[in-house]
Amino acid sequence: MTATLRDLGEFELIRAITARFARGRDVLVGPGDDAAVLAAPDARVVVTTDLLLEGRHFRRDWSSGVDVGHKAAAQNLADVAAMGARPTGLFVGFAAPGDLTVDWALALADGLAAECASAGASVAGGDISSADAIMLGVTALGDLEGRAPVLRSGARPGDVVVLAGSVGRAEAGLALLTAGRGHDAGVDADAGVDAGWAGLVAAHRRPRPPYPLGPAFAAAGAHAMCDVSDGLVQDLGHIAAASQVRIDLDLAALAADGPLRSAAAELGADPLDWVLTGGEDHALVACLPPSAVIPAGCEQIGQVLPGAGVTLAGRPAVGRGGWSHFA
């Protein structure tokens, strides 16, 4: 029989989970006391928090415990990077039913730890509770290393809009899963699933935010930055509103790649929809002064102009709740 959380009990579970977490250099006091103590060398700390609920933010039949761990960590660590900070620590409240397998919980811990490691951070504390469904409350912290935080409100006409990371791929992967066309696709591509599609499903399961680009954009003098979690048009819309500018996107720079186009053709979808409105890839998008040296691995996708809202090659692109095809 596979052991469940109820079999193991709370204290043994905590012991087993925390044993998976390597203590990073910023963790001064780790799990096990009333609270943890984290280094904040810059004398300021960047903090963000998110809830992830089973059935709303992930499905256990579509994502493994490791996947959910990666995703939960990534979406918070990306927010830290989007301020221009280096991620340092992650704190995880975890609630689950007593009949959840211990293996799933340990896989979750492994995913959290691995994603933190890829961002240079570590899991430094948490909380465990019982619940009817799995839920996670994740908080990430980061260090600004002496730089000013990069807000959404600083974009200026003349800035170039630069994208790091992918957009639309996680949404396409979710569409494939929803259509029953990617359910069995392993991250490394299984038989029957086109290798390109497996990459889309993987993008849904384990987004790969470009963490180092957050500090790199800040160091390059970015005037504004955010992570793309609700879709490119909507998130850039927040920058446009906060900065009182217009952001015009370049259609050519946002052309969908082969896997996106073939998946869209198969599902009868518009790949540009995914690119413009798909969240959860956790790309970073920054507005840089035109004189800035654009960091390697990024692409200019638009420019900042006087005005308001987000436009696509000069035509209105934004509707409430995401992109709407221009009339």
Beta-carbon neighbour count of residue 25 at 10 Å?
9
In the complex with its own copies, the residue whose CB is nearer, 89 or 199, is 89
The residue (of 138 and 318) whose beta carbon lies closer to its own copies is 138
Query: Is 261 one of the annotated binding-site residues?
Result: no
C-beta closer to its own copies: residue 152 or 246: 152
DSSP letter for each residue of 184-247: T--TT--TTS-HHHHHHHHHHHS----TTHHHHHHHTT-SEEEEESS-HHHHHHHHHHHHT-EE
**Number of Cα atoms under 13 Å in the Cβ half of residue 291:** 1
Contact present, 226 and 282 (Cβ < 8 Å): no
Kindly tell me which of 193 and 304 has the beta carbon lying closer to its own copies. 304
Cα gap 286→81, rounded to integer Å = 11
Does 229 show up as a binding residue in the annotation?
yes
* Residue 61 annotated as binding site: no
**Beta carbon nearer to its own copies, 229 or 311:** 229
Q: How far is the CB of 22 from its own copies (least distance, A)?
A: 18
CB of 280 to its own copies, least distance (A): 14
Q: How far is the CB of 301 from its own copies (least distance, A)?
A: 18
Which own/partner contact pairs does 251-254 have at CB distance under 8 Å and 24+ positions apart? Answer: 251/312, 251/313, 253/163, 253/299, 253/300, 253/301, 253/302, 254/167, 254/301
Q: How far is the CB of 221 from its own copies (least distance, A)?
A: 18
Applying CB under 8 A, the residues found at the interface with its own copies are 28-29, 32-51, 53, 56-57, 79-80, 82-83, 85, 89, 91-95, 124-127, 129-131, 135-142, 144, 149, 151-152, 225-227, 242
Please state, in angstroms and rounded to a whole number, the distance separating the CA atoms of residues 282 and 93: 21
Binding-site residues for ATP sit at 126-127, 152, 229
Binding-site residues sit at 34, 48-50, 57, 79, 126-127, 152, 227, 229-230, 280, 323
Binding-site residues for Mg(2+) sit at 34, 48-50, 79, 127, 227, 230
